[in-house]
């Protein structure tokens, strides 16, 4: 126990594992399921893991399988998972900053010196207030729309607003409709607030705090914030144009919609592809090219110390700058007049390659565990689980228990693994008092 406390990075997987275990036991209670009897273990485990890891993948119909008590459990587990990952990731990044100084900070908190490790209550309080503020505003707008636009009773409209607001900001994606949000594909009052919630939650608390503090002053933003904001905009525009172009005439997705509805649906689905998990069109009807692009966007994910998953924006764009510097023959990797430490570059490479390895192994395992599943569908599902996105081509409920367990493991590792591994690498950084003779193997 003492060794665990000396290395707080180990607390992250333990904390989430404890939440998953408790959530699984609660989901197995007879009162959580509409049908008589308790929930089967694998179904409860999958659902609890998906909620705590803010993924949104489901093997049952959330709208009809769970009772009101079960849906409240989903909401609570999602809120705990979303708040926990933002809080723990931020505090771990602060710990690393204090232990190693500017030279070897994690990219998640590269230059944010405004937060101090000792003021834990202040950090947690700000994170909770930020989360509550976004969720309350979204719940009021979405709930009001259900009430005034769809004649939902006031109590039901309020509950639906709260449920989907929590799912949006925490980037989970559970929905209280059997077809997710397909019925609201043309409703901007539903789609836009949820999209804003997903984007805000996927940016990450450190970036949100810096944006609020230095609003309108990009020159004062840290390298981490610049990579997250500008990189996020680039991927958002790229994904939007790609989905809009590839699916414009697809009769199973955007084809039957009007021009304005196509734009709204493509923008919504683009935002959800990076982490949100909701869908207003049938993802299973996407063209293979769209699935391939969506898989790549899911793998990249959102911001560090956020509710989004994937290898993270900073990792992806840092590696892009590494490649650019190598192609130019430059001795240093420079971003915005800041030289990036070699140790940080190695961390980014490690996180990215571990992610590739996990997705490859998961895809192979899922293909072995199932019969007749197409490779692109299996890759999409595995990436969605690893990146804690929650989108599905529709094969998840049909998977055998072995296939569902593979996704459970990927959701858990994808949610806590990159943070735990990254922090552990940084906290274990040691300086040798000697260096070996240099040799250059042939590369490429």
Q: What is d(CA 30, CA 44) in angstroms, rounded to the nearest whole number?
A: 11
CB 393 within 8 A of CB 377: yes
- The domain of 360 spans 2-427
CB 339 within 8 A of CB 402: no
pLDDT at 251 over 90: yes
- Using a CB cutoff of 8 Å and minimum separation of 24, what contacts does 246-249 make? 246/287, 246/289, 246/290, 246/293, 247/281, 247/286, 247/287, 247/290
3-state helix, strand and coil shares in percent for the chain, rounded to the nearest 5: 70, 0, 30
pLDDT at 222 over 50: yes
pLDDT, tens digit (0-9, with 9 covering 90-100), for 157-183: 999 999 999 999 999 989 999 999 999
pLDDT, tens digit (0-9, with 9 covering 90-100), for 21-73: 999 999 999 999 999 888 999 999 999 999 999 999 999 999 999 999 999 99
SS3 80: helix
Nearest to 167 by CA among 77, 236, 240, 228: 77
Q: What is the pLDDT of residue 13?
A: 78
> pTM for this one?
0.87
Q: What is the pLDDT of residue 429?
A: 57
| Average pLDDT estimate for 191-195 | 96
Which tokens go with 303? 């911001």
Instruction: Give the max Cα distance, the chain.
Output: 75
pLDDT at 117 over 70: no
Q: Is residue 295 part of a domain?
A: yes
Burial of 216 (0-12, 13-18, 19+ CB in 10 A): exposed
pLDDT at 196 over 90: yes
Burial string for 13-51 (b: 16+ CB within 10 Å, else e) reads bebbeebbeebbebbbeeebbeeeeebeebbbbbbbbbb
pLDDT at 20 over 70: yes
Please provide residue 214's backbone torsions phi and psi, each rounded to the nearest 5 degrees. Answer: -120, 40
Q: How does residue 421 score in pLDDT terms, banded at 50, 70 and 90?
A: low
Q: Is residue 70 part of a domain?
A: yes
CB 77 within 8 A of CB 417: no
Q: What is d(CA 309, CA 406) in angstroms, rounded to the nearest whole number?
A: 17
Please, what is the angle between helix 41-52 and helix 401-427, to 10°?
30
What is the total count of domains within the chain?
1
Please provide residue 338's backbone torsions phi and psi, each rounded to the nearest 5 degrees. Answer: -130, 125
The count of other CB atoms within 10 Å of the CB of residue 268 is 27
Q: What is d(CA 164, CA 33) in angstroms, rounded to the nearest whole number?
A: 20
Which tokens go with 276? 């949100």
Q: What is the pLDDT of residue 97?
A: 53
Q: What is d(CA 114, CA 221) in angstroms, rounded to the nearest whole number?
A: 12
Among 147-156, 331-340, 379-388, name the one with the lowest average pLDDT.
331-340
Burial of 329 (0-12, 13-18, 19+ CB in 10 A): exposed
pLDDT at 7 over 70: no
CB 310 within 8 A of CB 356: no
Q: How does residue 208 score in pLDDT terms, banded at 50, 70 and 90?
A: confident
Distances (CA, A) of 119 to 11, 92, 111, 126, 169: 19, 13, 17, 11, 25
Q: What is the pLDDT of residue 343?
A: 81
Beta bridge partners of 335: 338
User: Mean pLDDT score of the chain, rounded to an integer?
Assistant: 85
Q: What is the pLDDT of residue 153?
A: 96
pLDDT, tens digit (0-9, with 9 covering 90-100), for 403-413: 999 999 999 98
CA dihedral 181, 400, 353, 223 (to 10 degrees): 20
Q: Is residue 383 part of a domain?
A: yes
Looking at per-residue confidence, does 10 or 383 come out higher? 383
Which helix (H) or strand (E) element contains residue 339? strand 338-339
Q: Is residue 434 part of a domain?
A: no
**Which range among 135-149, 301-315, 330-344 has the greatest average pLDDT?**
135-149
Nearest to 80 by CA among 134, 14, 23: 23
Q: Is residue 418 part of a domain?
A: yes
Q: Is residue 432 part of a domain?
A: no
Question: What string of H, E and C letters represents the secondary structure of 361-388?
Answer: HHHHHHHHHCCCCCHHHHHHHHHHHHCC
Residue 130 exposure: Cα atoms within 13 Å on the Cβ side: 28
Please provide residue 335's backbone torsions phi and psi, each rounded to the nearest 5 degrees. Answer: -130, 115
pLDDT at 1 over 50: no
Looking at per-residue confidence, does 433 or 317 come out higher? 317
| Average pLDDT estimate for 420-443 | 66
Q: Is residue 440 part of a domain?
A: no
Q: Is residue 29 part of a domain?
A: yes
Percent over 90 (pLDDT), the chain: 56
């Amino acid at each position: 126990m003492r060794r665990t406390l000396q290395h707080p990075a180990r607390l992250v997987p333990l904390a989430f594992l404890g939440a998953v275990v408790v959530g699984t036991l609660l989901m197995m209670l007879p009162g959580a399921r509409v049908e008589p009897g308790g929930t089967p273990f694998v179904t409860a485990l999958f659902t609890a893991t998906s909620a705590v890891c803010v993924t949104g993948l489901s093997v049952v119909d959330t709208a009809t399988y769970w009772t009101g008590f079960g849906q409240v459990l989903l909401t609570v587990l999602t809120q705990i998972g979303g708040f926990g990952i933002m809080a723990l990731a931020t505090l771990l990044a602060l710990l690393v900053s204090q232990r190693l100084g500017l030279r070897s900070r994690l990219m998640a908190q590269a230059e944010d010196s405004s937060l101090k490790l000792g003021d834990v209550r202040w950090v947690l309080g700000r994170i909770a207030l930020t989360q509550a503020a976004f969720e309350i505003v979204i719940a009021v707008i979405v709930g009001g729309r259900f009430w005034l636009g769809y004649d939902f009773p006031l109590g039901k409209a309020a509950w639906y607003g709260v449920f989907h607001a929590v799912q949006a900001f925490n980037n989970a994606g559970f929905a209280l409709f059997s077809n997710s949000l397909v019925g609201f594909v043309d409703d901007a009052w539903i789609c836009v607030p949820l999209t804003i919630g997903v984007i805000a939650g996927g940016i990450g608390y450190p970036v949100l705090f810096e944006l609020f503090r230095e609003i309108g002053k990009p020159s004062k933003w840290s390298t981490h914030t610049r990579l997250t904001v500008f990189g996020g905009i680039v991927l958002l525009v790229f994904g939007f144009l790609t989905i809009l172009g590839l699916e414009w005439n697809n009769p199973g997705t955007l084809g039957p919609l009007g021009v304005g509805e196509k734009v709204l649906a493509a923008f919504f689905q683009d935002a959800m592809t990076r982490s949100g998990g909701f869908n207003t069109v049938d993802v299973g009807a996407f063209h293979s090219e769209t699935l391939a692009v969506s898989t790549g966007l899911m793998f990249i994910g959102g911001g560090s110390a956020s509710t989004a998953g994937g290898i993270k924006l900073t990792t992806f764009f840092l590696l892009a700058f590494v490649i650019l510097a190598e192609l130019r023959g430059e001795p240093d990797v420079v971003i915005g007049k800041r030289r990036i430490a070699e140790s940080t570059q190695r961390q980014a490479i490690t996180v990215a390659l571990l992610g590739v390895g996990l997705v490859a192994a998961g895809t192979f395992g899922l293909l072995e565990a199932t019969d007749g599943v197409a490779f692109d569908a299996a890759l999409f599902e595995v990436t969605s689980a690893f990146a804690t996105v929650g989108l599905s081509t529709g094969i998840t409920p049909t998977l055998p228990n072995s296939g569902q367990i593979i996704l459970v493991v990927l959701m858990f590792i994808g949610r806590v693994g990159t943070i735990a591994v990254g922090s552990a690498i940084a906290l274990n950084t040691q300086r040798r008092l000697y260096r070996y003779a240099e040799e250059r193997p042939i590369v490429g």
